[in-house]
Amino acid sequence: MEKELAFFFSENKKEDTSMQNVWDTMKAYARGLIIDYTTKKNIRKRQTIKALEDDHKKLEKELQNMPQKKDIKLKMDIIKHKMGQVEKEELAQKIRNAKQNYFEDANKPGRLLAYKLRKEKESGKILQLIDDQKNNYIKLKQQIASDLKKWENLQLSLISRISTIKMNILPRILNLFQTIPIRLGKDYFEELNKIVLKYIWQGKKARIKLKLLQDARTRGGFGLPNWELYYQAANLMWAKEWITLRKTKLLTLEGHDLLLRWHAFLWYEGTKSQGYFRRHYIQESLWLNWEKECVKMIEKELFFLKENKKQQTSIPNYGT
């Protein structure tokens, strides 16, 4: 490489050629040399691996025919060792490349640059998740609207139309709720309800309230899916894993960067002191839904205690 570059400068460094042109040309020339060297090196490596594999196969056949010969087995062990050395070299090269990409062996400014690069990469993933809302949720909503428009004029009863929603539309939406649990506003569910109601009533004015349609059949409702409840339930399934700690492999992978255990983040004080937890796009969405449900449970409990206290004070004391 040094000889090639020395030859390049001796031939191209002229008085009538600017240094900028020489420098730009040298970069292109050096890039070509590196690509050529890397290609030849990879070809030699592949040829070496193929030759070792072929030798190993030949020795295997010989060993099958003559199992009493110990020198064949020794040769096979040597070939395996050589193949292992090649694999170790490849792994070491990958580790070096990873360290170079993140400037791990650099000085203080280099490590600062590595930190900024990691943050930029994480923000890119968050933007990708935000784009998932457009590419998945909004796209699915448009697809559902298109499908229901095709089926709108079919001669079906009210119960049959609700059954169509439960069998065809619900599984598709539930799949997204479970796999991509990102934050969704109320407007998304309202738009979804409008699309479904338009199909159920064939574009005419609704004759039954949505709340009654979405109520359980055991209470006199029609069992139409309540999209927001399904969304909250899918989110709470993740929170359930944080509580039970049963799926250890999943939780270890998901919480590799957590400083505290999962139970510490189930309450407001934990997320307040460990603010990094809610910077994660999906974790924040799951936690906000969990907090919302906790507030509901506390309000119900307080209401029950308040009513119970009223009843106790209203009971006359006949003992006095």
The mean pLDDT of the chain is: 77
Answer yes or no: do 149 and 258 share one domain.
yes
For the segment 32-57, what is each residue's pLDDT rounded down to a tens digit?
888 888 888 888 888 888 888 888 88
In angstroms, the Cα distances linking 174 to 110, 137, 237 are 45, 11, 12
Among the listed residues 233, 224, 235, 236, the one whose alpha carbon sits nearest the alpha carbon of residue 169: 224
Q: What is the pLDDT of residue 209?
A: 92
Answer yes or no: do 223 and 266 share one domain.
yes
**Stronger pLDDT, 278 or 152, i.e. the higher one:** 152
**What is the C-alpha separation between 227 and 173, in angstroms, rounded?**
8
* 3-class DSSP assignment, residue 106: coil
Helices (H), 68-181: 70-101, 108-132, 139-151, 158-164, 170-179
Answer yes or no: do 179 and 79 share one domain.
no
Question: Does residue 318 lie within any of the structural domains?
Answer: no
**What is the C-alpha separation between 297 and 199, in angstroms, rounded?**
35
**Stronger pLDDT, 265 or 24, i.e. the higher one:** 24
Answer whether 213's CB lies under 8 Å from 221's CB.
Answer: yes
- Which helix (H) or strand (E) covers residue 273, if one does? helix 268-273
**What is the C-alpha separation between 196 and 149, in angstroms, rounded?**
10
Domain count, the chain: 2
Q: What is the mean pLDDT of residues 94-122?
A: 63
Residue 287 burial (10 A CB sphere; 0-12, 13-18, 19+): buried
Answer yes or no: do 307 and 163 share one domain.
yes
For the segment 259-311, what is each residue's pLDDT rounded down to a tens digit?
666 656 666 555 555 555 555 666 777 777 777 777 666 666 655 555 665 55
Highest mean pLDDT among 39-48, 115-124, 163-172, 175-184: 163-172
Answer yes or no: do 66 and 132 share one domain.
no
Answer whether 227's CB lies under 8 Å from 193's CB.
Answer: yes
Tokens of 259: 């400083």
Q: What is the mean pLDDT of residues 84-111?
A: 69
Which of 56, 90, 107 is a domain's end point?
107
Which of 107, 136, 151 is a domain's end point?
107
Percent of the chain clearing pLDDT 90 (strictly above): 17
* 3-class DSSP assignment, residue 40: helix
Domain with 30 in it: 1-107
